[in-house]
């Protein structure tokens, strides 16, 4: 059972660490840095407390448990997205809805590529957390996209369908871009670098022949091309 923030041992544990007194922003930043360096498997209350120079119990007032930390990492990505979008906020009002959706998609892509080890949470935590319980920054992103689709003149049913398609394309594209394909980075020979010798030439001839092209990322251009094709379907 999750302990209430700020109660019991957590109240007695000092939250003054090596970087000064803690706050939620500092805790999430440290969690994000830890996962960026070592992956999600390294994240625990004990390990994060050690990173911050406090007892693990001191963190419970900022995150009641591991799931809350994972949701906090999702929140941190969307807050970073908002920071990327904010500088152009004034000019965004003058942009058309389609250009603004492209801007949001590109910013999301760049944030995700900056934190590849956190990206799986954009799928797994969204499967576990109901809409109304998602972090406020996530809900603001939903609102931002839905508003643009509504301003494009789509009715409620088409707005919902376009939102689902937009979200699926964006997060799916990012996931494909980040999937590891190189078997041995130290190899110079393309076949051994990709581990093609591990694949059956009889059973997987097309995959073997296409693998070198699959390694090349689609980049922002591929993201934009797919998004245009999707929006053409609804516009």
Residue boundaries of the structural domains of the chain = 1-64, 67-234
Mean per-residue pLDDT, 171-197: 94
Mean per-residue pLDDT, 217-224: 96
pTM: 0.85
In this prediction, residue 19 carries a pLDDT of: 52
- The predicted-structure confidence for 26-85, as pLDDT tens digits, reads as follows 999 999 999 999 999 999 999 999 999 999 999 999 999 899 999 999 999 999 999 999
In this prediction, residue 2 carries a pLDDT of: 45
- Quick one: fold of 1-64? Arc Repressor Mutant, subunit A (1.10.10)
**Are 22 and 54 a contacting pair, CB within 8 Å?**
yes
Q: Do 67-234 and 1-64 have the same topology in CATH?
A: no
Instruction: Please report, for residues 16, 46, 104, 223, the alpha-carbon distance to residue 141 in angstroms, rounded to integers and kept in the order given.
Output: 33, 32, 9, 18
CATH (residue range 67-234): 1.10.357.10
Give one word for 26, left, alpha or beta, with left for phi > 0 and alpha for psi -120 to 50: alpha
Residue 41, class by beta-carbon neighbours within 10 Å (0-12 exposed, 13-18 middle, 19+ buried)?
A: exposed
The alpha-helical segments, DSSP class H, found in the chain are 9-12, 24-38, 45-52, 66-85, 89-92, 97-114, 121-128, 136-151, 156-178, 190-194, 205-215, 219-234
**Residue 106 above 50 pLDDT?**
yes
Per the prediction, the chain carries an average pLDDT of: 90
DSSP label at residue 198: G
């Amino acid at each position: 059972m999750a302990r209430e923030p700020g109660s019991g041992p957590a109240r007695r544990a000092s939250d003054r660490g090596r970087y000064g007194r803690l706050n939620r922003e500092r805790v999430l930043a440290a969690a994000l840095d830890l996962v960026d360096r070592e992956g999600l498997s390294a994240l625990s209350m004990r390990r994060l407390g050690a990173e911050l120079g406090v007892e693990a119990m001191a963190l419970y007032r900022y995150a009641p448990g591991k799931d809350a930390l994972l949701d906090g990492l999702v929140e941190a990505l969307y807050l970073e997205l908002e920071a990327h979008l904010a500088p152009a906020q004034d000019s965004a009002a003058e942009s058309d809805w389609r250009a603004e959706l492209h801007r949001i998609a590109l910013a999301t892509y760049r944030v995700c590529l900056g934190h590849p080890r956190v990206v799986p949470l954009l799928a797994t935590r969204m499967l576990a957390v109901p809409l109304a319980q998602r972090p406020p920054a996530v809900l603001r992103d939903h609102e931002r996209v839905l508003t643009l689709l509504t301003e494009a003149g789509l009715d409620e049913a088409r707005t919902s369908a376009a939102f689902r398609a937009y979200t699926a394309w964006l997060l799916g594209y990012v996931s494909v871009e980040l999937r590891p394909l190189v078997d041995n980075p130290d190899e110079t020979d393309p076949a051994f670098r990709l581990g093609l010798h591990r694949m059956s030439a009889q059973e997987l001839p097309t995959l073997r022949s296409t693998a070198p092209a699959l390694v090349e990322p689609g980049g922002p251009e591929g993201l934009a091309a797919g998004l245009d094709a999707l929006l053409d379907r609804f516009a």
